[in-house]
Amino acid sequence: MSKTTAGRFFEDYRIGDVINHAVPRTVSGGERAMYHALYPARTALYSSDEFARACGLPQSPVDDLIGFHIVFGKTVPDVSLNAVANLGYAEGRFLCPVYPGDTLRSQSEVIGLKQNSNGKSGVVWVRTQGVNQHGAPVLDYVRWVMVRKRDLEAPAPATVVPELAAVVPAQALIVPEGLDFSTYDTALSGEPHRWGDYAIGEKIDHVDGVTVEEAEHMLATRLWQNTSKVHFDGTQRADGKRLIYGGHVISMARALSFNGLANAQMIAAINAGSHANPCFAGDTIRAWSEVLDRAETQAPGVGALRLRLVATKGGRDVLKGTDGKYHPDVLLDLDYWVFMPL
């Protein structure tokens, strides 16, 4: 038997390689409805054409994370099919909203390589860009993964570790063209708290919990055409459980954060992210946030807030132990920027 894709191994990557990922995808109101069914997402800008128009956009875009998941999903067959671990994200920027009718494709450039000292695997850094049908970039981000070697005898490549910004600087955030929060309606958005009401260091417990089911995370992961086997095949583990796609936890935590951050309308950037512990069906996901920074923008009425979003399975306000390691209840530690009305 033949012809199926074994995926790339560590020795198959070369610095500067550009990979055009397969299967472009047109989105519609269908993906938006599925997103609302999968996550308790309620940000008004992504729910209502009328609200979006009142904010200067032509119509309601699909959730930023729909764009992220689709662009990410396309990279899986080329980047992470033989990955041992998803190690991190950096320099993620949302460059242009995605609207129903848009077609997204995805490409990645290999920007870093470092073989592990055990000689069995190595770290691959890629910068991935999502592009719409007009050729306009909609988002880009750096991700690094640990990838197995096929041939342990293959020589180690020259080590190249890219210099990555710890945080996307506020002045590099791209406000969508036309966005104007100067007549923003907090009655319709769901909460009165504006940019000026958040203080650096402030923490918010988002209160609600959602118990996740096998059917839900598989529906979600397939929707993004993410083909990683571990999410779907219950025969891989004795307990029949499937490892939940980290992006499912990101979307769930982001949606839960509505309660306390209803006006954190748009994701502007992803500075860093860790999937601290695996998530399985039956876990009840909770979330809390911490305000890390604040910045102004050039756009009318639009401020930027830098947030830490932590998803846990049960624990409230947990993060790391005195040893610096994540508490076993922590699922996600995400550092990101949002746009919010002043």
Question: Residue 193 CB, nearest distance to a copy of itself (Å)?
Answer: 5
* Interaction mask 148-177, a copy of itself, x per CB under 8 A: ------------------------------
Among 39, 72, 181, 195, binds a copy of itself (CB under 8 A): 39
For residues 263 and 186, the answer to whether their CB atoms sit within 8 Å is: yes
Among 160, 166, 284, 321, binds a copy of itself (CB under 8 A): 284
In the complex, minimum distance from the CB of residue 17 to a copy of itself, in angstroms, rounded to a whole number: 13
Between residues 120 and 229, which has the closer beta carbon with respect to a copy of itself? Answer: 229
* 342 in Cβ contact with 195 (< 8 Å): yes
> What is d(CA 14, CA 181) in angstroms, rounded to the nearest whole number?
45
Interhelix angle 29-38/214-223, rounded to 10 degrees, is 150
Q: Are 236 and 286 within 8 A, CB to CB?
A: no
253 residue type, one letter: A
According to the binding rule CB under 8 A, does residue 270 interact with a copy of itself? no
Contact between 28 and a copy of itself by CB under 8 A: the answer reads: yes
DSSP H or E run through 120: none
Residues in 238-267 that interact with a copy of itself by CB under 8 A: 240, 242, 259-262
What is d(CA 256, CA 285) in angstroms, rounded to the nearest whole number? 9
Burial class (CB in 10 A: 0-12, 13-18, 19+), 144: buried
Of 170 and 291, the one with the shorter C-beta distance to a copy of itself is 291
Q: Does 36 bind a copy of itself (CB under 8 A)?
A: yes
Half-sphere exposure of 66 (CA within 13 A, CB side): 29
Figure out which of the listed residues 93, 193, 275, 306 binds a copy of itself, where binding follows CB under 8 A.
193
Give 22 or 166: the residue with its C-beta nearer to a copy of itself.
Answer: 22
CB of 221 to a copy of itself, least distance (A): 9
